[in-house]
Amino acid sequence: MENFRKESDLLGELNVPLDAYYGVQTQRAINNFKISGQLLSSYPDFIKGLAFVKKAAAKTNYELGLLDENLYFKIAEACDEIVDGKYHDQFPVDMIQGGAGTSINMNANEVIANVVLEKLGKNKGEYEFCSPNDHINLSQSTNDAYPTAIKMGLLQMNIGLVEKLEKIIAAFRAKGEEFQDVIKMGRTQLQDAVPMTLGQEFEAYAATLEEDISKLNNNASLFVEVNMGATAIGTGLNAPVGYAVLCAKNLAQITGYPVISAPNLVEATPDTGSYVIYSSAMKRLAVKLSKICNDLRLLSSGPRAGLFEINLPPMQPGSSIMPGKVNPVIPEVVNQVCFKVFGNDLTVTFAAEAGQLQLNVMEPVLSHAIMENINFLCNALDTLREKCVVGITANKEVCLNMVKHSIGIVTALNPYIGYKQSTEIAKEALETGKSVYNLVLEKGILSQEKLDEILDPKNMLKPHNK
């Protein structure tokens, strides 16, 4: 029995697997683009975005009298099934490809057309009854449908990323409360500064990450402006009058996002500014996340010859040669994810800059870089929270002893004895190994009662009057 069916396009005939819902142009993309190994099927939210766009287009074409009712309802039904997760294995094209996304757009057109044909009782490939181009792609071009689908996918993916971020913020905040009474030394430039609590340190991690929720959401909100109805270059050729605004309205109703039609479709078609600014928000998050992981590695360093202020959950043996060694593998892997995010952000920058005239043909690598970053960050946030943050414990006595023996507490004497005399005390303490406390008493600079009050670490955790 023949396992293939023949389909034809501009370049001639090609064998397509008999049971495949995709068609000839998807098959050409499979043959041509063996690049990243990351397929469209790996990004379900992007596939859903394509289905949203094709359903909105079909609804608009039906309402404008270009599509008959039966075909519209069948197309809408097929799109709904794709949104629900069906047929995702039928999107096998590589995310990175030439052609400005034409292969991905045609992949969606062909799958939807063949699903509709099946519903009509026809064979796959009988496109005279439902055509990928004439019906599914009606009043569209890759140049408006593809970027709009990317944006719908990213709006969904951003929701997932923010949810992961909220969870790790809550985990850091919980540790901040747990460690609120653990006195320790703060450090600047890796040198002793002034006392603080471990709780304040962890609450600061929660606070800095919390800022990025609004940045991600605000930047993602730019994706609601779409260029549907622009067709090839923004002039609207082959789209009926009123299509752009009505399609945006239908897309908003279908997705629940406040989608609007771009005010200038010629400008909107090559514009990739929204991708650049959203990518920058992810880079900002990654920078902060990597800094936090660096801190966790430093604070847990040791256990005998490092800071050893906290313990990270032991996850695996740390050496093939050094018995007993356990490494901070979770912060390390998150650091590496952040480096990947930095690199992908640069890819987005180059791809956005490479747009020429009325189209940016580099959107495949641009969209892939952003979506890969979202997936990486989601996985990294969950991993850091589940396998590290929630299990962190404090070495309270180690932290307190460091405060008691630190030269840094001399800063608290500045308002009482002046900077010059404080500097002399600090210098002598370093040279002799004596404590700041004993030197002040030996020199009769302050009474023990006053000194105890000033140098009580708890009195150095917030502003106060002399």
Nearest 5°: CA angle at 28, between 25 and 29?
90
- Regarding whether 275 and 170 lie in a shared domain, the answer is yes
In a domain, 434, yes or no: yes
- Regarding whether 87 and 167 lie in a shared domain, the answer is no
Q: Which residues contact 383 (CB under 8 A, 6 or more apart)?
A: 330, 333, 334
In a domain, 452, yes or no: yes
- Regarding whether 175 and 114 lie in a shared domain, the answer is no
Question: Token digits for 241?
Answer: 């009058």
- Regarding whether 91 and 177 lie in a shared domain, the answer is no
pLDDT in tens, 201-250: 999 999 999 999 999 999 999 999 999 999 999 999 999 999 999 999 99
In a domain, 242, yes or no: no
How far is the C-alpha of 233 from the C-alpha of 231, rounded, in Å? 6
pLDDT higher than 60, residue 1: no
- Regarding whether 318 and 188 lie in a shared domain, the answer is yes
Concatenate the DSSP letters of all residues of 138-151 into one string: TT--HHHHHHHHHH
pLDDT in tens, 128-173: 999 999 999 999 999 999 999 999 999 999 999 999 999 999 999 9
Torsion from C-alpha of 411, 413, 416, 422, nearest 10 degrees: -80
Domain that residue 104 falls in:
20-138
In a domain, 8, yes or no: no
- Regarding whether 320 and 419 lie in a shared domain, the answer is no
- Regarding whether 353 and 208 lie in a shared domain, the answer is yes
Query: What does the buried/exposed string (b/e) look like for 12-31 if buried means 16 or more CB atoms within 10 Å of the residue's CB?
Result: eebebeeebbbbbbbbbbbe
Last residue of a domain, one of 71, 103, 138: 138
Residue 95: per-residue pLDDT: 96
In a domain, 7, yes or no: no
From the list 137, 116, 300, 292, the residue with the least C-alpha distance to 206 is 292
- Regarding whether 164 and 125 lie in a shared domain, the answer is no
pLDDT in tens, 310-364: 999 998 887 778 888 889 999 999 999 999 999 999 999 999 999 999 999 999 9
Domains identified in the chain, total number: 3
- Regarding whether 217 and 71 lie in a shared domain, the answer is no
In a domain, 377, yes or no: yes
- Regarding whether 342 and 281 lie in a shared domain, the answer is yes
- Regarding whether 426 and 384 lie in a shared domain, the answer is no
pLDDT in tens, 87-131: 999 999 999 999 999 999 999 999 999 999 999 999 999 999 999
- Regarding whether 167 and 29 lie in a shared domain, the answer is no
Q: Are the CB atoms for 446 and 454 separated by under 8 Å?
A: yes
How far is the C-alpha of 420 from the C-alpha of 160, rounded, in Å? 55
Residue 435: per-residue pLDDT: 82
From the list 381, 405, 356, the residue with the least C-alpha distance to 290 is 381
Q: Which residues contact 188 (CB under 8 A, 6 or more apart)?
A: none
In a domain, 290, yes or no: yes
In a domain, 15, yes or no: no
Last residue of a domain, one of 87, 103, 138: 138
Sign of the four-CA dihedral 100, 103, 109, 111: negative
Catalytic residue IDs: 319
pLDDT in tens, 21-51: 999 999 999 999 999 999 999 999 999 999 9
